[in-house]
Amino acid sequence: MNDVETTGAWLSREELDNARDRLPILYVHAVPVRVDDRGVVTHVGLLLRADSDGGIGQEVVGGRVLYHERIRDALTRHVEADLGPMALPRIPLSPQPFTVAEFFPTPGVTPFHDPRQHAVSLAFVVAVMGDCRPQQDALDLSWVTPEEAASLAVRGEMPGSHGVLVRQALAHVGFPV
């Protein structure tokens, strides 16, 4: 199988700003998890990142889907970019999101807010089997129990509506939130 070349699909800063002003941008988010031999989630991976305003918070993996890129490939690319090339994500051949999150620049339209743009994100729970290390702009990676993740989400320690995604992911895999 030949991979489609996506490196030419990046927009310049000006082109991206122009697109964000005119149309929704497609994203994927992945809540990385560790599972036991029965497939039960034992830990949730949270990245510690600084935002443009100087705040620090915990987030899940995520990013844009490139032009002509399959959703599965975008998930793999973002998991490996944020957690390292040895994360070994187990992404199904035909991934199904646990939710579709609509981010609006206007607060309060949905539980999801992104001041930069109107964005639509397909959100997935992704089991990772390998060695994970924070990459790129991530300051740290912590593995917390589902109960700890739910507590962090409720306390508002996850910016950009990531706490809502984590709570929805936990509910999707059977944890009460």
For 49-84, what is each residue's pLDDT tens digit? Answer: 887 777 888 999 999 999 999 999 999 999 999 999
Helix (H) or strand (E) holding 172: helix 162-172
**Are β-strands 25-35 and 119-128 bridged in parallel, bridged antiparallel, or unpaired?**
parallel
Q: How confident is the model at residue 1 (pLDDT cuts 50, 70, 90)?
A: very low
Which amino acid, 47? L
Q: Which residue has the higher pLDDT, 87 or 5?
A: 87
Mean pLDDT, residues 162-174: 95
pLDDT at 9: 60
Given a cut of 70, whether residue 2 has pLDDT beyond it is no
Q: What is the pTM of this model?
A: 0.87
Q: Which residues contact 101 (CB under 8 A, 6 or more apart)?
A: 29, 110, 112, 120, 121, 123, 161, 164, 165
> Residue 153: CB partners within 8 Å, gap ≥ 6?
162, 163, 164, 166, 167, 177
Q: Which pLDDT does position 8 carry in this prediction? A: 58
The total number of residues written for the chain in this structure: 177
38 against 5, higher pLDDT: 38
Mean per-residue pLDDT, 142-161: 88
The pLDDT, as a whole number, for residue 5 is 52
| 93-117 tens-digit pLDDT | 999 999 999 999 999 999 998 888 9
Return the higher-pLDDT residue of 154 and 157.
Answer: 154
Burial class (CB in 10 A: 0-12, 13-18, 19+), 131: exposed
Instruction: Name the burial class of residue 59, with classes exposed (0-12), middle (13-18) and buried (19+) by CB atoms within 10 angstroms of its CB.
Output: buried
